[in-house]
Structure 1
Amino acid sequence: MATSRVTKRPDFVLVVKEKNLPFLEQYFNNLRALGLDFANEPGQTVDLIFIKVFISKEALAHFSELYEIGRGESRVTTVFYTEVIFRHIFPTPLSDMPLDNSLERTEADNIMIVDKVLQNARYGSKDTEFGLSNLISMGIVETGYPLHDGSIEQDGMNIRSKLYRHWSNLRVTHMEQPLDLIFRYFGNEVAFYFAWFDYFNIMLVLPSILGALVVLAGLIYVALANPAEVREICETSEVLCPVCEGWPGCRYKEIQKFCALAHWSYVFDNNFTIAFAVFMTFWCTLFITLWRRKENTLMMRWNCENVVEETQIRQAYLASTTHQRPNGITGEMEPYVPKICIVLKYSVTIAACTILLAIILLAVIIVMVLKILFTEMCQASENLYLRSHSRLLTMILGSAVQVTVIKIFQLLYRPASIRLTEFENPRTQVDFDNSVLYKKYLLSFMNNYIPVIYLAFVKGKVTTLPHHMNFLTKDSCQPINCVVSLCIQLTFIMTVKTFLGNVFNVVFTKAKLCLRFFSKRYAKRHDRYHPSREDLPQWEKEYYLEPLTRYFVLSEFSEMGIKYHDIYWVGFLCFPSHTDEI
């Protein structure tokens, strides 16, 4: 393939093995006919060819109109377009930077256009032989990616460095987000995610303050009023049948030993929490209403009210479909899947999702069994500390194990939802994305909230007579209610899971990035000179960056939705619970 001498920054980069270049000749010829140009660069640290892709301005304008990607004509005034939507108390130098109305396309739009062209170009004579995704899946092309607009070390010289200094930096976490610049550089999907994240954190300020005041009021009320519910536990001389019946060394436990838990139970389960629960129900409704207002404002500001959905038939659908029928409108022959095949595939998917939900439920039962065994071991122990704090230790340990199980299942159901959707093989990309979203959200919701539902509505509801306990009735909240256990579980889900997940993502990504660079750097052993990462050209340096999957932002949106439901559950479960009868 001839090499062009082009000095501007590439619009896209394809990474190919040299032996595969002859297979791509027709693909590149078709792309040249569409207005694209190429330049080859051998890799300095890997035995690969980096093909820089350039698109002309005329071709960019043509495909922008063809694919309906770009700003088009704005229906809003310039005054509205440049105004600040929500003024924060900590603005950054990028806060007042107006969105340039003269630009027909943003950097993200240009990348989408080039990607569309690469995905639709033919590399063979058959109808199914087209698209960069097929070339990557067949191993002819290693990977393909767009380039950033420069290095982060070029302070203020490009959008990437500006965002790194004034946005993607721990020192400016408290400052206003430059949403317009994020939209211009990353596109509307990423920009709306951070707009939601920003709005979510601001709206949580008032519930956080009121929640702290409710807890403080509960502490003061318990300390001064000494309510009857607490006195019944702290002043009784009765004993409780132990869970560890049948174990050597098992003793009856005085109910007074639960006095501390009774105090904390009333702190989180009193008359003040009724008002807080009512407030949270109104807050959730107000939250959605105000977010829709902000979302509509941003959609008008960024001129993306009418997003064009990807209704083009998927390549995988074309490749696997053997039946054809005439289109009812155009009369042309088009592929289709018989209804019986669709029903069978969806039946398999429903069965697989049911099995995954059953596995999640089984994990909850296993954790329950472990908690019962741990409680029995503690109560039958000779250690005074374990016997005295067996209930609290069981709550904390059970919540920690449950959160660990939730994180492990996240690694299971995310790829499973994609694999099941690939088996269904929807016709268009929109149908494919929606199907993945539904599965991910369903499995994520049940994974997070089956343990909470069990604690709130099932645990402790099955009672029996003394000395007649079975394994199920041993898992109870007696002699107090399950409020403390529920609070610990929600605390682990809302804080520890999120914190550990973020730490793991950062550490894992950094470690994988370093391992990927050094493993491929020394793969080219015949070279005497191995340049450092800083000396590499931009296209090879960014080859070692972590690839962004298609559903990365979708997964983050799903997690934020789950966090919103966490707040909803806090309000829903704040209504006082009745203490289980002894």
Structure 2
Amino acid sequence: MRDTLWINNTGTVSKSASTSVLTSCISVVFAFIFPSCRYYFGEKIALYYLWLGWYTKLLVPAAALGVVVFLYGLAFFNTNPLINEVCQSNIIMCPRCDKTCQVWKLSDTCSYAKVSHLFDNEGTVAFAMFMAIWATLFLELWKRHRARHVSQWKVYDWCEEEEELIMEIVNDPDCTPKQFRHSYLRSTLVLILLMLIIGLAHALVVFRVVAAPLLSECQWKFLKDHANTVAVMLGAVLHYVTIQIMTRVWKLHLSLFLTLQSFTVKMFTFQFFTLFSSLFYVAFFLGRINGHPGNYVRLAGFRLEECHPSGCLTDLFIQMAVIMLLKQTLNNIFEFTVPTYTSNRNLGTPPIQDVHPLTFSLFNEFLEMVVQFSFTTTFVAAFPLAPLLALINNIFEIRLDAIKMVRLERRLVPRKTNDIGVWTKVLEAIGVLAVIANGLVIGVSSDFIPRLVYRYRYGPCANGTTDTRCMQGYINDTLSMAFMSHPDVQRDFKIEQMHNVTECCYRDYRSDEDYSLTPQFWLVLAVRFAFIILFEHVVVVCKFIAAWFVPNNPIGVKNDRLHDKLARLKEELR
């Protein structure tokens, strides 16, 4: 097949052959392994499409359950007592910033409370557990899927290192193998770059802190009324721009002095830190270190942000939704239009081999999909629709990759392989991180634990009463009071803008007299830690059971290999 498919001078497949190869590569996704894709592009490309197809298939149940969780929140959209308590409240809240902001009514954020409930409800906990186990099942079932096909391709026992040594010996019988080396200089550079990423995350935090009060001074009523939400969305867009810039910087500099495997691991590490540094701040620090009226924590002279009275999870949802939508949509447009423009520009150019500079990059495609896998699993507790967005993106990604590979870019040199390499280890690490991150999101960021404590310890049903709503009064219970007569409070707020308000509320468990933390705060904190430990132990046990229950190699593959070895040994002993 390799001999019958004609290639033009730019290294792309001719139009007469591209349709056949394109169909074959897309067919790999649906597990009908036509030989032309593997024979023409090699096992390396075929395994990429095999993995992408398997990942896309298993996204279907995850996306379906995510939609169910979303619809569960939507079903109680108008009847949820917590939403009604916010929307019908007359509570006066303390200003969100120092001198320019005014007091506001809790009912002004009715829409925000409704959105919060869509992504912070009881179904979120079960979905987070499901996704952590799903990540393990995906990897274990992929190993079986891979083993079945590489056995059919007769490359199960193939060793890339031995093949490279054989090629070196053929070219030079007196060659010496390249020695493994460790460079402390490179390791130090990696640490410096990671510190730079952390610094960028701090810069994004400063932007969010500064943007909210500045927007609250705007003359436009919409921006003034929704200053915090707009600041969050602008921060997410700026984060996306930072991701794009830093990704190109990492690729340009790291590729100059790192080996392929080392480059893969370190490039993903940098990409992961760039993507998730701001998300970790929103998930685990936003609203927890901001202090209280009269003693606010400040950054660059501005007060740190506070969580909404309905919870902190919505900010994380907004951040993830903006980044994920922008990254997937714009990346697909950019990756497809640039090769198309380059190919059209080169039409009519003399047939010189180097006229088509773009080469299909398997590394870039794997990196894009593994980063998407990270979004789909790591903070899925805050964004149950992430698997659905990933599924929709992958349906287009499969087709666009195939078109780009066979029609718009120079093909890769066909190479053998029997695995996706170090990406398997990266996916396993993400699976473990997903358990930790989702446990922390539910235990720390979500209001699941405070609501649970209120229901069984402080709410109307705590004493056995059953004729009322158990969560009635929850929002008011999570608020503390600040009195304007206190001199420290007067220093923080501009009294002229208080409109004769003598006290205001803020989200925290503090005493009204001396702002000390109440016993309820310590109880909630203890239950949070207990839940995180219990959640992670239960999910980890389930992951180990799933990994043990699903063997990496199907019995048929083991038996086939055993017969092949027996036949080879008989042949050698003759």
Residue number in structure 2 paired with 1:468: 295
Would you say 1:544 and 2:397 are equivalent positions?
Answer: no
Distance 1:413 1:441 in 2: 10
Paired position in structure 2 for 1:236: 89
Q: 1:436 to 1:108 in 2, by over 3 A?
A: farther
SS in 2 for 1:307: coil
| Residue of structure 2 equivalent to 1:554 | 363
State the match for 1:499 in structure 2.
329
Alignment of 1:447 onto 2:274: yes
CA RMSD of aligned residues (A): 3.6
Task: Specify the alignment match of 1:299 in structure 2.
Answer: 150
Structure 1 residues 233-272: aligned runs within 5 Å:
233-247=86-100, 250-272=101-123
Pair 107,349 (structure 1): closer, same or farther in 2 beyond 3 Å: farther
Aligned to 2:317: 487
Counterpart residue type for residue 308 of structure 2: Q
Alignment-derived partner of residue 463 in structure 2: none
> Percent identity, aligned pairs only?
22
Q: How does 1:164-203 map to 2 (within 5 A)?
A: 164=22, 166=23, 180-203=35-58
Q: Per-residue CA shift, 1:57-106, capped at 9, x if unaligned?
A: xxxxxxxxxxxxxxxxxxxxxxxxxxxxxxxxxxxxxxxxxxxxxx8xx5
1:405 matched to 2:242: yes
In 2, Cα distance between equivalents of 1:305 and 1:389: 58
Which amino acid counterpart does residue 93 of structure 2 have in structure 1? L
Question: 1:306 aligns to what SS in structure 2?
Answer: coil
Contact in 2 for aligned 1:222/1:263 (Cα 8 Å): yes
**Which digits, 9 at most, give the CA deviation of each residue in 1:330-360, with x for residues without a partner?**
9x996988x9xx56xx222122112221222
Matched letter for residue 557 of structure 1 = F
Look up the match of 1:384. 221
Which of 564, 574, 578 is residue 373 of structure 2 equivalent to? 564
1:356 aligns with 2:193: yes
Kindly state the Cα deviation for residue 178 of structure 1 after the two structures are TM-superposed: 5.1
User: Structure 1 residues 284-293 or 274-283, which shifts more?
Assistant: 274-283
Bigger CA radius of gyration: 1
In the alignment, the residues of structure 2 paired with residue 479 and residue 290 of structure 1 have an alpha-carbon distance, to the nearest angstrom, of: 42
How far is 1:541 from its partner?
A: 6.7
Instruction: Supply the distance in 1 between the matched residues of 2:232 and 2:28 (Cα, whole angstroms).
Output: 34
Q: What residue in structure 2 maps to residue 508 of structure 1? A: 338
The answer to whether the aligner puts 1:433 opposite 2:287 as a matched pair is no
Give the distance between the partners of 2:199 and 2:333, measured in 1 at CA.
28
Q: TM-score w.r.t. structure 1 length?
A: 0.59
Note the C-alpha offset of 1:182: 1.6
Q: CA deviation at 1:449?
A: 1.6
Residue 151 in 1 paired to residue 6 in 2? no
**2:29 matches 1:162:** no
TM-score after normalising by structure 2? 0.60
> Deviation of residue 468 (structure 1)?
3.1
Contact between 2:29 and 2:50, CA under 8 Å: does it hold in 1?
no
Is contact 2:72-2:123 (8 Å) kept? Answer: yes
CA offset at residue 176 of structure 1? 7.1
Q: Quick one: structure 1 residues 370 and 195, their matched pair in 2 at CA, closer, same or farther if it must change by over 3 Å? A: same
| Matches of 1:348 and 1:405, distance apart in 2 | 26
Is the contact between residue 452 and residue 489 of structure 1 (CA under 8 Å) also seen in structure 2? yes
Q: CA deviation at 1:470?
A: 3.6
Partner of 1:63: none
Query: What CA deviation, in whole Å up to 9, does each residue of 1:423-474 have, x standing for no partner?
Result: xxxxxxxxx2211112112112212222222211122211312143243452
Contact 2:194–2:273 (CA<8 Å) still a contact in 1?
Answer: yes
| CA gap 1:467/1:443 in 2 versus in 1, 3 angstroms | same
CA shift, 1:295, in A, is 0.6
Letter in 2 for 1:284: A
Gap regions ≥5 residues in structure 1: 1-102, 112-143, 316-329, 422-431, 519-531
Q: Could you tell me how far apart the structure 1 residues matched to 2:352 and 2:373 are?
A: 38
Contact 2:89 2:107 in 1 (8 A): yes
Name the CA distance, whole Å, in 2 between partners of 1:478 and 1:373: 18
The whole-number CA distance in structure 2 between the counterparts of 1:275 and 1:498 is 27
CA drift at 1:291: 0.7
Q: Which residue, out of 423, 426, 442, partners 1:575? A: 442
- Using the alignment, how far apart are the partners of 1:437 and 1:287 within structure 2? 21
Give secondary structure in 1 for the equivalent of 2:288: coil
* 1:449 counterpart letter in structure 2: F
**C-alpha distance in 2 between matches for 1:209 and 1:402:** 29
Q: Distance in 2 between matches of 1:222 and 1:547?
A: 50
How many residues align structurally?
A: 383
Structure 1 partner of 2:81: 227
Whole-angstrom CA distance in 2 between matches of 1:369 and 1:173: 47
Q: Deviations over 1:107-139 (max 9, x none)?
A: 69999xxxxxxxxxxxxxxxxxxxxxxxxxxxx
The one of the two structures with greater contact order (alpha-carbon pairs below 8 A, sep at least 6) is 2
Go from structure 1 to structure 2 and tell me whether the alpha carbon gap of 1:461 and 1:505 turns closer, same or farther (over 3 Å shift): same
What displacement does 1:211 show?
0.9
Distance 1:378 1:239, change over 3 A: farther
C-alpha distance in 1, partners of 2:66/2:265?
Answer: 32
Q: 1:336 to 1:543 in 2, by over 3 A?
A: closer
8 A Cα contact 1:406 1:447, kept in partner: yes
Q: What SS does the corresponding residue of 1:420 show, helix, strand or coil?
A: coil
Going from structure 1 to structure 2, the CA distance change for 1:180 and 1:269 (only over 3 Å counts) comes to farther
- One-letter identity of the residue aligned with 1:433: L
CA distance in 2 between counterparts of 1:380 and 1:241 reads: 17
1:207 pairs with 2:71? no
Partners of 2:352 and 2:55 lie apart in 1 by 35
Could you list the per-position Cα deviations for residues 503-548 of structure 1 after superposition, in whole angstroms to 9, with x for gaps in the alignment? 1122222334445x38xxxxxxxxxxxxx35xx6xxx176433432
Decide which structure has greater helix share.
2
Answer with 564-573 or 214-223: which moved more.
564-573
Q: Residues of 2 paired with 1:283 and 1:336: CA distance?
A: 40
The change in CA–CA distance for 1:255 and 1:314 in structure 2 (over 3 A counts) is farther
Alpha-carbon separation, structure 1, partners of 2:249 and 2:38: 32
* Alpha-carbon contact 1:513-1:544 (below 8 Å) kept: no
